[in-house]
């Protein structure tokens, strides 16, 4: 996996779940929640997972393509579940799954998923090494392998510099 002098940390130790009730100021005139509201929730949930893993402040470097599979409506509860999938030397790949719940019926819909990359920073704002992630479950190992492939493709792009 990843070689480092830092001890590895289990992927499960950094999981994050955030929920937020969608209120009128978060929606357009059709009652659909603004995409930016969902992106903010995604970024915050992912940041918690990254910081928990790194045990250092982390900054968002990229958010991969986000597709809104279906609208989220005013009054629904939005759940963002974040998991650390892979780490480089200073970068952390976090996956986030978003679901919308009708709080009256309990029915949930998967509305979108995306991947974010964070970099851990030290007290001077410079990138700092992070511990390797240790996937425990079969699902975590699958996420790890997919994240490793995404990272490899990203690093092949011109101007890529994440470690």
Q: What is the pLDDT of residues 94-149, one digit of tens each?
A: 999 999 999 999 999 999 999 999 999 999 999 999 999 999 999 999 999 999 99
| 13 DSSP β-pair partners | none
pTM: 0.90
Mean pLDDT over residues 17-32, rounded?
A: 97
Considering only CA atoms, which of 56, 42, 64, 123 is closest in space to residue 90? Answer: 56
Class of CATH domain 9-155: alpha beta
Kindly state the percentage of the chain with pLDDT values over 90.
Answer: 85
Could you count the other beta carbons within 10 Å of the beta carbon of residue 117?
24
Sorted by where each begins, the domain ranges of the chain are 9-155
Write the CB contacts of 43 (distance below 8 Å, at least 6 apart in sequence): 60, 63, 116
Mean pLDDT over residues 28-46, rounded?
A: 97
Q: What angle do CA 2, 113, 129 make, to 5 degrees?
A: 25
């Amino acid at each position: 996996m990843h070689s480092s002098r830092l001890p590895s940390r289990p992927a499960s130790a950094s999981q994050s779940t955030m929920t937020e009730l969608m209120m009128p100021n978060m929606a357009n005139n059709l009652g659909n929640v603004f995409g930016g509201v969902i992106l903010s929730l995604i970024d915050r949930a992912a940041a918690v997972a990254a910081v928990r893993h790194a045990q250092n402040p982390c900054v968002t470097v990229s958010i991969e393509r986000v597709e809104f599979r279906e609208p989220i409506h005013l009054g629904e509860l939005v759940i963002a579940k974040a998991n650390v999938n892979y780490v480089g030397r200073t970068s952390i790949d976090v996956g986030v799954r978003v679901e919308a719940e009708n709080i009256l019926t309990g029915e949930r819909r998967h509305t979108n998923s995306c991947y974010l990359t964070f970099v851990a920073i030290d007290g001077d704002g410079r990138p700092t090494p992070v511990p390797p992630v240790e996937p425990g479950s079969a699902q975590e190992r699958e996420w790890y392998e997919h994240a490793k492939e995404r990272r490899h493709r990203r690093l092949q792009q011109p101007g890529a510099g994440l470690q």
